[in-house]
Amino acid sequence: MTQKIRFYFDFSSPYGYLATVRIDELARRHGRVVDWRPHLLGVAMKATGQSPLLNQPLRGAYAKRDLARMAQDFGVALVQPEVFPIHSVAASRAFYALKDDVEEQAVRLARQLFHAYWGEGRDISRPGDIAREADAIGMNGAVLIERMALLETRQRLRDEVDDAMQRGIFGSPMFDLDGELFWGCDKFDQMDRWLSAGGW
């Protein structure tokens, strides 16, 4: 059986957003399905000792230019949101509140949230923001808020974050292809070769 491509990202990550533009094409070309898995970079950064890239001396300035170039290369608009960085806990809870029952809806919502924040600069950190974006794509935002608040949903996100850490996930995007991790939007060409060759 062909395994899914596990796609790890954080909603506050611009590189995570850019990855959503190309991940489906990669998967389709290789007959794979994408398993979207938001995690929390803030938790990972405590373990790795990192701070948000865009705020780092030298590296932040480079990343801004790199993102602008990469967005053009990927053919997508990318803005610098006024509210930055944001907490991505609410967005991640909303995603996992839907994933098991209606995975397609979870992915649709994830795309809408990424687009709202990184494509149009709207804050997506508060539950009300999530509801607004859910309503905008014909989902029931009020019901979603209720599900986000459930203890079960909150625990689910904790478990997912723990599991990601156990698997060595520390960045956004990161991809798990049959147990091999690949980090960053720069990896699409190499992942394409890797999947074509069945490893090397």
Residues that bind its own copies (CB under 8 A): 44, 47-51, 56-59, 61-62, 65-66, 69-70, 72-73, 165, 168-170, 180-184, 186-187, 189-190, 193-194, 200
Minimum distance from residue 142 beta carbon to its own copies (Å): 38
Minimum distance from residue 125 beta carbon to its own copies (Å): 25
Minimum distance from residue 62 beta carbon to its own copies (Å): 6
* Exposed/middle/buried for residue 86 (C-beta within 10 Å: 0-12, 13-18, 19+): middle
Minimum distance from residue 172 beta carbon to its own copies (Å): 13
Pick 41 or 144: Cβ nearer its own copies: 41
Task: Please state, in angstroms and rounded to a whole number, the distance separating the CA atoms of residues 122 and 116.
Answer: 5
Pick 138 or 193: Cβ nearer its own copies: 193
Pick 151 or 166: Cβ nearer its own copies: 166
Minimum distance from residue 190 beta carbon to its own copies (Å): 6
User: At a CB cut-off of 8 Å and minimum separation 6, what does 191 contact?
Assistant: 26, 175, 177, 182
Q: State the Rg of the chain over Cα.
A: 16
Pick 84 or 183: Cβ nearer its own copies: 183
**41 in Cβ contact with 13 (< 8 Å):** yes
Pick 53 or 89: Cβ nearer its own copies: 53
Q: For residue 160, what is the enclosing H or E element?
A: helix 151-166
**148 in Cβ contact with 94 (< 8 Å):** yes
Reply yes or no: is the peptide bond before residue 14 cis, omega within 30 of 0: no
